[in-house]
């Protein structure tokens, strides 16, 4: 209070104030002056006290905040799933690599030389299927399950297969009229033999025929006639020396087959040589896909009658009717032909052979059938096939394929023939309601982040943005498994026509016929929704343009890509980036020339060119695949997928607390997000095969990460390092 009074008296002037003070000091005793002096000290004491109190409060708050953040910040996840994942990351990563210069090695350095992440997950899924098939006592089998288990057991019973030897195959050859290599044979009508091969044995020696979606309507089936698949990789551009070596290896293989079937060596040699000659002539008729595409003849729509007139050697109606029963075909039936010129030339060659060398033509068809059926035969046939494959890979400079355990082959065969049953059992074990709910929640967060991101794209106008948002909103999402896989009773009704035994070969042939009939029936039934292209245990997601549907199989949504108990950083970085990548495919058309006339074309082309140059700057060989190719579009989807997944993750962190980290890794949640993204690519595709749609694995890691400022910030990358460039593109 004294300070206030003093300020009010100051206008009186210094003299008056001095005089009053003098008079007062003269009149009062020291005792009387004491209260006044205490009063003058009181404001200073208060100020000191307040300073101490404020400092103490700040200190206490700091300590409290320290302990709060220390105790409530991200803590390691200690569940078995998290510990397994942490150990996996430690085993694959190279902590000695500099993350800002080579994040691929940092995340995947120790994984080189082993199977990639997708391949490893596929093998784990097959191992789980094996467990299902071998733990038969824990299930309550119906008709479908029982036959699936029996087929798998028959496949694994190698003793019975070896004991049967070539007997079951000789029986098949006799049903086809025999062949002169082994003695008795009946000269049957060529088209009758071809009809049996196609309908009863699933072998197509001169062309392939299968049901597929009509180009104008994805839910309307159409029979498609395509080029054949040959055992030998004969190409017109191959060196003559390489082609001669390939012929010699294939001739050796055919001689082995004929000898194993009891043929006279001299006669086998003669028939095998002519069979190779037929294959060589047919291969000369083939036109590469690129050539047909350039000529605008990827396919042609013709009727059975029209095809019969252009390629008369084949009885098309009879052969196709037998193959696609219970479809009812007529001469006016429309067919989709992929290479009409090949079929014309093939027909002329067959007509000539029927007239002049019918017995050699019969041997050619049977030798091809033996190759097709070799996986169901004893080890002598399988070894001959495996040896041919390895030598051909050497001649064509392809890496060798390691031998696979028998159980993997049996699991795959069982999965092909009994997919409805195995799908239901796999989903029941590996994709329960908790996992399915968590996966759908993750996808919803990714989809919402994409819609938000569309609003900030500079090259998209409002009309296009609204259309794009509508497309995302109307997207059909298939998560885990198709509807029929979630209803096991459907699978139990599919196998009444399967007859197992007496030999494994007979079981395989019965399953081949049953599978084809099921495929035909499924196409004939009304099917308003998307038809899955992969099995539920597959590890490949995809976007279907005709159906505007995105598919994420249960096999993909497994550790190490996804688990309901993982830290969010893992799920968003791995599975979330995969989901976002597939959503990016919705906008492919916008990125193509003329695909978005209402967009800011100049800005769009500028950013596309920027991204192309950005990728081309990475130290990897081979750059021809960037110029407008599908691979470049996949790079665009990689960048956009990471951007969207990161945005969704950041939003989830903002609204949900309790994030965890992985044990054993000194990484923050944001760093784990980027590590999980890279982990998906570990030791993935690394070749420069121009037909592969994805870039090499290091580029799939470094390209998107270097385009993301948050990566450089969280890993404290100096400006100008490989993954923190001085400038970035702004496409997404």
pLDDT tens sequence across 171-202: 999 888 888 887 667 777 899 999 999 999 99
* 220 occurs within a structural domain: yes
Q: Are residues 337 and 463 in the same domain?
A: no
Q: Are residues 20 and 54 in the same domain?
A: yes
Q: What is the CATH number of the domain that holds 647?
A: 3.40.390.10
Answer yes or no: are the C-beta atoms of 557 and 431 closer than 8 Å: yes
- Mark whether 264 is an active-site residue: no
Q: State which residues form the domain around 621.
A: 82-113+433-481+532-714
The number of distinct structural domains making up the chain is 4
* 722 occurs within a structural domain: no
Positions in the chain whose pLDDT score sits under 70? 1-73, 111-115, 137-143, 183-184, 233-239, 294, 487-493, 527-528, 620-629, 656, 683-692
Alpha helices in 139-288 (DSSP H): 143-156, 158-164, 167-175, 190-201, 240-260, 265-285
Describe the chain by its helix, strand, coil percentages, rounded to 5. Answer: 60, 5, 30
Among 241, 236, 255, 281, CA closest to 395: 241
Residues 237-270: b if buried by 16+ CB within 10 A, e if exposed: eeeeeebebbbebbbebbbbbbbbbebeeebbbe
Q: Are residues 523 and 547 in the same domain?
A: no
Entry field: residues in the chain? 732
* 214 occurs within a structural domain: yes
End-to-end Cα spacing for the chain: 65
Catalytic residue chosen out of the listed positions 547, 582, 607, 612: 582
Q: Are residues 384 and 361 in the same domain?
A: no
Q: For the chain, what is the total number of helices (H) and then of strands (E)?
A: 32, 9
State the DSSP H helix or E strand holding residue 221, giving kind and residue range, or none if neither. strand 217-226
Q: Are residues 222 and 279 in the same domain?
A: yes
Task: Count CB-CB contacts under 10 A for residue 427.
Answer: 23
Catalytic residue chosen out of the listed positions 102, 226, 478, 638: 638
Q: Are residues 268 and 250 in the same domain?
A: yes
What pLDDT is attached to residue 111? 59
State the DSSP H helix or E strand holding residue 310, giving kind and residue range, or none if neither. helix 304-310
Q: Are residues 442 and 537 in the same domain?
A: yes
Alpha helices in 542-668 (DSSP H): 568-571, 577-584, 588-591, 601-616, 630-655
Sheet holding 542-544, edge to edge: 476-480, 549-553, 542-544
Q: How far apart are CA 117 and CA 431, in angstroms?
A: 19
* 580 occurs within a structural domain: yes
* 304 occurs within a structural domain: yes
Q: What are phi and psi of 226, to 5 degrees?
A: -125, 175
pTM beyond 0.85, yes or no: no
Q: Are residues 474 and 495 in the same domain?
A: no
Answer yes or no: are the C-beta atoms of 231 and 278 closer than 8 Å: no
Q: How far apart are CA 219 and CA 212, in angstroms?
A: 9
Q: Are residues 553 and 634 in the same domain?
A: yes
- Mark whether 638 is an active-site residue: yes
Q: How far is CA 624 from CA 607, 630, 684, in A?
A: 19, 12, 20
What pLDDT is attached to residue 183? 66
Q: Are residues 593 and 694 in the same domain?
A: yes
* 208 occurs within a structural domain: yes
Q: Are residues 96 and 126 in the same domain?
A: no
Q: What are phi and psi of 106, to 5 degrees?
A: -60, -40
Strand partners of residue 224: 210, 336
Q: Are residues 282 and 205 in the same domain?
A: yes
Strand partners of residue 208: 226
Answer yes or no: are the C-beta atoms of 179 and 517 closer than 8 Å: no
Q: What is the three-state SS of 331-397?
A: CCCEEEECCHHHHHHHHHHHHHHHHHCHHHHHHHHHHHHHHHHHHHCCHHHHHHHHHHHHHHHHHCC
What pLDDT is attached to residue 126? 97
* 36 occurs within a structural domain: yes
Q: What is the CATH number of the domain that holds 299?
A: 1.10.1380.10
Task: Count CB-CB contacts under 10 A for residue 705.
Answer: 26
* 719 occurs within a structural domain: no
Q: What is the DSSP string of 67-133?
A: HHHHHHS-EE--SHHHHHHHHHHHHH--TTS-TTT-HHHHHHGGGTTS--HHHHHHHHHHHHHHHHH
Chain centroid, CA 648 distance in Å: 21
Strand partners of residue 221: 213
């Amino acid at each position: 209070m004294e300070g206030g009074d003093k300020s009010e008296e100051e206008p009186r002037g210094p003299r008056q104030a001095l005089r009053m003070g003098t008079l007062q000091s003269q009149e009062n005793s020291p005792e009387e002056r004491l209260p006044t002096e205490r009063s003058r000290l009181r404001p200073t004491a208060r100020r000191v006290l307040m300073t101490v109190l404020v400092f103490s409060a700040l200190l206490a708050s700091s300590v409290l905040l320290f302990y709060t953040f220390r105790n409530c910040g991200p803590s390691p996840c200690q569940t078995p799933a998290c510990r397994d994942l942490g150990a996996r990351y430690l085993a694959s990563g190279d902590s000695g690599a500099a993350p800002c210069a080579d994040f691929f090695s940092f995340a995947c350095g120790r994984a080189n030389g082993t199977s990639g992440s997708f391949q490893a997950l596929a093998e784990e899924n097959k191992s789980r299927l094996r467990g299902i098939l071998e733990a038969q006592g824990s299930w309550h089998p119906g008709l479908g399950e029982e036959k699936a288990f029996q087929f798998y057991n028959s496949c694994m019973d190698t003793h019975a297969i070896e004991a049967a030897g070539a007997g079951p195959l000789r029986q098949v050859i006799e049903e086809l009229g025999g062949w002169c290599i082994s003695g008795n044979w009946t000269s049957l009508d060529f088209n009758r033999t071809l009809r049996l091969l196609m309908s009863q044995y699933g072998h197509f020696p001169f062309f392939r025929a299968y049901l597929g979606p009509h180009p104008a309507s994805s839910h309307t089936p159409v029979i498609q006639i395509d080029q054949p698949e040959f055992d030998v990789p004969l190409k017109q551009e191959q060196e003559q020396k390489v082609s001669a070596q390939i012929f010699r290896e294939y001739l050796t293989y055919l001689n082995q087959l004929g000898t194993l079937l009891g043929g006279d060596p001299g006669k086998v040699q003669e028939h095998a040589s002519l069979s190779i000659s037929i294959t060589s002539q047919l291969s000369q008729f083939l036109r590469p896909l690129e050539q047909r595409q350039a000529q605008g003849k990827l396919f042609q729509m013709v009727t059975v009658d029209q095809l019969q007139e252009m390629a008369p050697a084949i009885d098309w109606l009879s052969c196709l009717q037998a193959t696609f029963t219970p479809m009812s075909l007529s001469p006016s039936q429309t067919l989709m032909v992929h290479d009409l010129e090949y079929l014309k030339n093939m027909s002329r060659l067959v007509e000539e052979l029927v007239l002049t060398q019918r017995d050699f033509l019969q041997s050619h068809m049977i030798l091809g059938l033996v190759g097709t059926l070799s996986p169901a035969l004893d080890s002598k046939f399988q070894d001959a096939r495996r040896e041919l494959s390895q030598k051909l890979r050497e001649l064509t400079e392809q890496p060798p394929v390691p031998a696979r355990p028998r159980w993997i082959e049996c699991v795959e065969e069982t999965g092909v023939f009994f997919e409805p049953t195995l799908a239901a059992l796999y989903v029941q074990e590996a994709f329960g309601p908790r996992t399915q709910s968590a996966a759908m929640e993750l996808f919803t967060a990714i989809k919402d982040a994409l819609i938000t991101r569309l609003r900030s794209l500079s090259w998209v106008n409002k009309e296009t943005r609204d259309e794009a948002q509508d497309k995302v909103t109307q997207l059909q999402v298939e998560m885990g498994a198709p509807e029929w896989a979630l209803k096991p009773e459907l699978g139990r009704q599919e196998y009444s026509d399967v007859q197992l035994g007496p030999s494994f070969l007979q079981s395989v042939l019965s399953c081949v016929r049953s599978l084809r009939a099921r495929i035909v029936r499924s196409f004939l039934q009304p099917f308003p929704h998307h038809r899955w292209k992969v099995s539920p245990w597959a590890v490949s997601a995809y976007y279907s343009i005709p159906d505007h549907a995105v598919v994420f199989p249960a096999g993909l949504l497994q550790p190490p890509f996804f688990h309901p108990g993982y830290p969010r950083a893992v799920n968003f970085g791995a599975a979330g980036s995969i989901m976002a990548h597939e959503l990016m495919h919705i906008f492919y058309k916008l990125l193509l020339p003329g695909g978005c006339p209402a967009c800011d074309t100049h800005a769009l082309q500028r950013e596309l060119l920027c991204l192309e140059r950005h990728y081309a700057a990475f130290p990897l060989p081979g750059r021809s695949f960037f110029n407008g190719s599908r691979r470049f579009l996949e790079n665009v989807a990689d960048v956009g997928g990471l951007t969207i997944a990161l945005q969704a993750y950041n939003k989830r962190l903002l609204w949900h607390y309790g994030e965890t980290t992985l044990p054993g890794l000194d990484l923050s949640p944001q760093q784990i997000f980027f590590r999980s993204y890279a982990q998906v690519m570990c030791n993935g595709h690394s070749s420069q095969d121009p037909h592969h749609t994805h870039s090499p694995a290091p580029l799939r890691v470094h390209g998107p990460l270097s385009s993301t400022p948050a990566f450089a910030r969280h890993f404290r990358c100096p400006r100008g390092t490989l993954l923190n460039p001085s400038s970035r593109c702004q496409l997404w």
